[in-house]
């Protein structure tokens, strides 16, 4: 903080000397060079001393070195009494060479949010760039075209290139600031302020050069020290401890694009009364078109999302009505011993047939329900009816277990174990005959609540099974930590056992054995697959070869069938 205060005092003293008309080279030349050199060294020091984003700050420092060398070339020549340099001069080559370094630095600093930001950000950046460039060209082009200083065509191109290039820097910095937000984007905000001072400074320089009043020290020199000063301040600002997810950046980038769109509209309206240069009018029009297109895309996306949300809410309401109107039903698919064919249990599968007879597959409505508050009540509904059916089988002499699927969101419900216990007691069903199936992803999610819920369920005596094993990205260490007793190999692997998938099934069986777990193979479609599973040592089989899912009444009759496999 003391360094910042000291730098501010020196800059204020330099400005005060310019205001009162001090003409000493010690102020107009040496102090100016010191004010742009010291921050450049600070940026390079940041790159050397801190590892985070080192390359980005090194590129910014390299650009500032080239930029400041241009002033050294110009001012030292003036101190030596050299004749007025030709235009463009070697100093211009150094200044122009600094811009690729600046842009590369910005791209490196932005790579984190560029990976996460939506594609629409590119359009909004373009809109900001076009709007800023339109404003700059509207101010500078008339003076360049008037060419009172009688500079060459190349000189005029170079003169105009500075504020245009500055507009690109400003646009990137503005979008970087609004995408990252204030907490993660403070450095971007400071850089944007510095880029704005560079735009104004180069704009003044271009006006004076075009008017023929060019001097080594001009009014713009009062602003130039601000660019490296703000760059140095951004480089040494404290960095956030963690990466930000940039939530809501879309709204902020829309707002930034809208601000420059309003500027473009103002230029187009002003063209009715003022002689706005044609390039500025074209750029303003393009900025407006890009903003409209981006806004249209965002509006269309928002409308699609709103319609999808509305359809999902309607679907959830339909499922709720179906649950109350008796349109939902449970079907049961047998689980049998691979070796002996004895029925070990059944999996309860939810089915929905509307009153008009149309069947709705579970994958068409369950994802929407899982994202709603209805998932808890629906899970209770399925659990209660499954236990009631299984309890009836027990009373008929068929002591088989029942498996019920849980959604991932169920594992974040702290009261789930209590609800399971209530359902077990209500249906007088033994807890050790109930298996709750959870997906592989849910089983290994790093959540304290999930661990507590699974442990509480296991303490009830309920068995836990990992469903669709092999399709997720589970950590074996996390998997071994949870109180599971069964792995269900996904049907996609089992059905492909006769081609390339057999090693995967064999590995899953070996893994389960090493963890002391049962193995259930889903998707058994023929005798050949069943025999192959027996060779691998799989415990339980499930699939259409054994039986299709059956309504409760038909399944009770199937249990009395003398030949199961």
Question: 243-261, pLDDT tens digit by residue?
Answer: 444 444 466 777 777 888 8
Neighbours of 72 (CB within 10 A): 14
Q: For residue 247, what pLDDT is reported?
A: 44
Phi, psi angles (nearest 5°) of residue 453 = -65, -45
For residue 403, what are the β-bridge partners?
347, 435
pLDDT average, residue stretch 202-216:
77
Residue 354 near residue 322 (C-beta atoms within 8 A): yes
What pLDDT, on the 0 to 100 scale, is given for residue 350? 93
The residue with greater pLDDT, 108 or 117, is 108
Give the other-Cβ count within 10 Å of 334's Cβ. Answer: 25
What number of other Cβ atoms are within 10 A of residue 155's Cβ? Answer: 20
Q: Using DSSP, state whether 339 is helix, strand or coil.
A: coil
Instruction: Report the distance separating Cα 486 and Cα 484, nearest Å.
Output: 6
- In this model, does residue 387 exceed pLDDT 90? yes
Rounded Cα distance, 140 and 548, in Å: 78
473 Cα distance to chain centroid: 20
**Which positions are annotated as active-site residues?**
522
* pLDDT at 248 (0 to 100): 45
Cα 473 to Cα 490: distance, rounded to the nearest angstrom: 13
Q: Averaging pLDDT over each range in 55-59, 254-258, 437-441, 528-532, which range is the top one?
A: 55-59
* Phi then psi dihedrals of residue 86, to 5 deg: -65, 160
- 167 neighbors 129 (Cβ within 8 angstroms): yes
For residue 359, what pLDDT band results from cuts at 50, 70 and 90? very high
pLDDT of residue 113: 63
- Of the candidates 106, 2, 26, the one whose C-alpha atom is nearest the C-alpha of residue 63 is 106
Which of the pair, 447 or 124, is modelled with greater confidence?
124
pLDDT at 479: 65
Predicted confidence at residue 246, as pLDDT, reads 47
Q: How many CA atoms lie within 13 A of 253 on its CB side?
A: 30
User: In CATH, what is the architecture of 326-558?
Assistant: Alpha-Beta Barrel (3.20)
DSSP state string for 221-246: GGTTTHHHHHHHHHHHSPPPSS----
Q: Output the average pLDDT for the chain.
A: 83
Percent of the chain, pLDDT > 70? 87
Confidence of residue 112 (pLDDT cuts 50, 70, 90): low
pLDDT score for 480:
65
Above pLDDT 90, what percent of the chain? 28
Question: How many H-runs (helices) and E-runs (strands) does the chain carry?
Answer: 20, 10
The count of residues in the chain is 565
Select the more confidently predicted residue: 250 or 56: 56
pLDDT (average), residues 533-547: 90
Lowest model confidence (mean pLDDT) among 204-213, 273-282, 467-476: 467-476
What is the rounded average pLDDT of the residues 124-130?
A: 81
Phi then psi for 76, rounded to 5 degrees?
A: -65, -40
Is the preceding peptide bond at 88 cis, omega within 30 degrees of 0?
yes
Region of poorest pLDDT, from 79-88, 271-280, 501-510: 79-88
Beta bridge partners of 404: 436
Q: Which residue, among 261, 262, 264, has the nearest Cα to 276 in the 3D structure?
A: 264
Of 530, 556, 554, 551, the closest CA to residue 341 belongs to 530
List CB contacts of 553: < 8 A, sequence separation 6 or more.
none
Residue 433 DSSP one-character state: G
Nearest to 207 by CA among 223, 189, 191: 223
**Of 199, 282, 488, residue with least CA distance to 207:** 199
Measured from the Cβ of residue 277, the count of other Cβ atoms closer than 10 Å reads: 19
Name which of 392, 359, 130 is nearest 263 in CA terms: 130
The stretch 393-418 carries a mean pLDDT of 90
For helices 278-325 and 362-370, the axis angle rounded to 10 degrees is 110
For residue 446, name the pLDDT band (cuts at 50, 70, 90): low
What does the pLDDT look like over 255-290, one tens digit per residue? 777 888 888 888 888 887 877 888 888 888 888 888
Cα–Cα distance measured from residue 29 to residue 120, given in angstroms and rounded to the nearest whole number: 46
- Name the DSSP class of 221: G
Average of pLDDT values for 332-346?
90
Cα–Cα distance, 232 to 236 (Å, whole number):
6
Distance, CA of 337 to CA of 327 (rounded, Å): 33
Q: Which residue has the higher pLDDT, 122 or 384?
A: 384
Residue 85 pLDDT class (50, 70, 90 cuts): low
Mean pLDDT of 384-405: 92
Contact between residue 150 and residue 104 where contact means Cβ atoms under 8 Å apart: no
Strand pairing report for 401-405 and 343-353 = parallel
Q: What are phi and psi of 487, to 5 degrees?
A: -115, 135
CA geometry: angle at 180 spanning 199 and 55, to 5°? 70
Write phi, then psi, for 147 (nearest 5 degrees): 50, 50
Distance CA 284, CA 264 (A): 5
CB 441 within 8 A of CB 472: yes
Q: What is the pLDDT of residue 87?
A: 65
Residue 511: enclosing H or E segment and its boundaries? helix 502-514
> What per-residue confidence (pLDDT) applies to 472?
55
Strands (E), 422-490: 434-439, 463-469, 486-489
Task: Give the pLDDT mean for 170-193.
Answer: 82
Hey, which of 94-108, 236-250, 292-306 has the most confident mean pLDDT?
Answer: 94-108
Range 278-305 average pLDDT: 78
């Amino acid at each position: 903080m003391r360094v910042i205060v000291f730098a501010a005092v020196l800059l204020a003293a330099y400005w005060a000397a310019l205001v009162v008309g001090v003409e000493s080279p010690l102020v107009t030349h040496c102090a100016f060079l010191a004010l742009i050199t010291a921050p450049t060294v600070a940026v390079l020091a940041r790159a050397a001393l801190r590892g985070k984003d080192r390359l980005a700050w090194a590129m910014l420092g390299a650009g500032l070195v080239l930029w400041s060398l241009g002033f050294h070339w110009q001012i030292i020549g003036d101190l030596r009494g050299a004749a007025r340099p030709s235009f463009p001069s070697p100093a211009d080559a150094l200044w122009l060479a600094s811009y690729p370094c600046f842009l590369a630095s910005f791209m490196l600093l932005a790579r984190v949010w560029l990976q996460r930001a939506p594609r629409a950000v590119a359009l909004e950046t373009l809109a900001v760039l076009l709007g800023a460039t339109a404003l700059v060209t509207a101010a500078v082009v008339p003076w360049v075209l008037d060419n009172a200083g009688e500079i060459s065509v190349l000189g005029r191109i170079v003169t105009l290139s500075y504020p245009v290039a500055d507009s690109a820097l400003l646009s990137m910095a503005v979008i970087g600031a609004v995408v990252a937000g204030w907490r993660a984007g403070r450095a971007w905000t400071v850089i944007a302020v510095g880029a704005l001072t560079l735009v104004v400074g180069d704009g003044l320089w271009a006006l004076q050069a075009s008017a023929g009043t060019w001097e080594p020290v001009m009014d713009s020199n009062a602003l130039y020290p601000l660019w490296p000063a703000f760059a140095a301040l951004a480089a040494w600002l404290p960095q956030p401890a963690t990466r930000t997810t940039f939530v809501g950046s879309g709204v902020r980038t829309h707002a930034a694009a809208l601000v420059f769109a309003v500027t473009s509209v103002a230029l187009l309206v002003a063209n009715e009364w003022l002689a706005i240069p044609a390039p500025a009018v074209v750029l303003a029009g393009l900025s407006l078109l890009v903003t409209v297109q981006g806004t249209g895309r965002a509006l269309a996306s928002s409308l699609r999302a709103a319609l999808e949300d509305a359809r999902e809410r309607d679907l959830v309401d339909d499922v709720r009505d179906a649950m109350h109107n008796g349109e939902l039903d449970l079907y049961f698919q047998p689980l049998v011993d691979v070796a002996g064919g004895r029925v070990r249990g059944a999996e309860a599968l939810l089915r929905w047939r509307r009153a008009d007879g149309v069947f709705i597959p579970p994958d068409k409505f369950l994802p929407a329900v899982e994202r709603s508050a209805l998932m808890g009540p629906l899970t209770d509904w399925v659990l209660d009816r499954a236990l009631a059916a299984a309890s009836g089988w027990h009373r008929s002499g068929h002591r088989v277990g029942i498996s019920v699927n849980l959604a991932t969101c169920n594992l974040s419900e702290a009261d789930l174990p209590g609800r399971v216990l209530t359902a077990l007691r209500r249906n007088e069903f033994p807890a050790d005959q109930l298996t709750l199936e959870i997906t592989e992803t849910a089983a290994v999610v790093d959540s304290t609540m999930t661990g507590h819920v699974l442990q509480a369920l296991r303490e009830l005596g309920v068995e836990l099974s990992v469903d669709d094993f092999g399709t997720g990205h589970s950590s074996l260490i996390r998997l071994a930590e949870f109180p599971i007793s069964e792995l269900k190999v996904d049907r996609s692997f089992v059905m492909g056992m006769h081609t390339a998938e057999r090693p995967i099934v064999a590995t899953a069986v070996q893994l389960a054995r090493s963890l002391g777990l049962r193995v259930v193979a889903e998707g058994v479609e023929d005798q050949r697959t069943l025999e192959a599973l027996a060779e691998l040592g799989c415990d339980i089989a499930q699939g259409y070869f054994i039986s299709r899912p059956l309504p409760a009444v038909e399944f009770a009759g199937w249990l009395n069938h003398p030949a199961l496999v």
